[in-house]
Amino acid sequence: MVSSGKIEINKFNGHSFELWKLNMEDLLVDKDQWIAVDLGTKPMGVSDEEWKKLDQKVKRTIQLCVSDSVLLNVSWEATIKDLWDKLGTLSQYKSLVNKLFLWKKLYNLRMKDGDLMTEHMNAFNTVVSQLLPIDIKISYEDKCFSLLCSLQDSWDNLVIAIGSNAIALQFDEIVSSLLMEEMRRKNMESQNRDALSV
């Protein structure tokens, strides 16, 4: 983990690029370095020397935030823009095999016994976020269906209630219902434990 003042970021190890990228953007904005990545070319009013210095500073910041195995594949990139683009290319390859793998990962995703709903939602959203950069467009309805299908059988009553009461599925409403149901279940478990201990 790399820390810069208030911001901590896990080193990028080749997995979950989209999440790492968001965290990295926050870190670079916090350090007033994002302009080098965002623009990629020297803005007006900045000397060549200042730009080269900023480019090298940002490059070093990013290199400190990637694992050694990733660094070996990108360390020779000349500019920060080249380095940033290379990281994206390495982790977001758009091959048919990768697309099939990610679709399979989404369709096979299942909530495990003992998982918190927030943990499951994080896993689900991670897979969905990996689909977008490689040009896989998942429809809003498919996203809703995939989430509901990924739940354990013990959630079937809620799934039926959601499907019965809706004309069209709303992802945010589904997530809200799932989180409220989890809270209700925890409350019931707590009450049952208290009743048994009395």
**For each of the chain's 198 residues, which pLDDT tens digit applies?**
555 556 778 888 877 777 788 888 888 888 888 887 876 677 788 888 888 888 888 888 888 888 888 888 888 888 888 888 888 877 766 667 778 888 898 999 999 888 899 999 998 998 888 887 777 888 888 899 999 999 998 899 988 888 887 778 888 989 999 999 999 988 888 877 766 665
- Give residue 52's domain range: 2-91
Give the global pTM.
0.58
In contact, 24 and 9? CB cutoff 8 Å:
yes
Q: Specify the long-range contacts of residues 162-169, CB closer than 8 Å, at least 24 apart.
A: 168/141, 169/140, 169/141, 169/144, 169/145
Do 50 and 86 fall into the same domain? yes
Amino acid letter for position 182: E
Q: How many domains does the chain have?
A: 2
* Angle, vertex CA 20, rays to CA 16 and CA 25, nearest 5: 150
Do 104 and 171 fall into the same domain? yes
Do 82 and 105 fall into the same domain? no
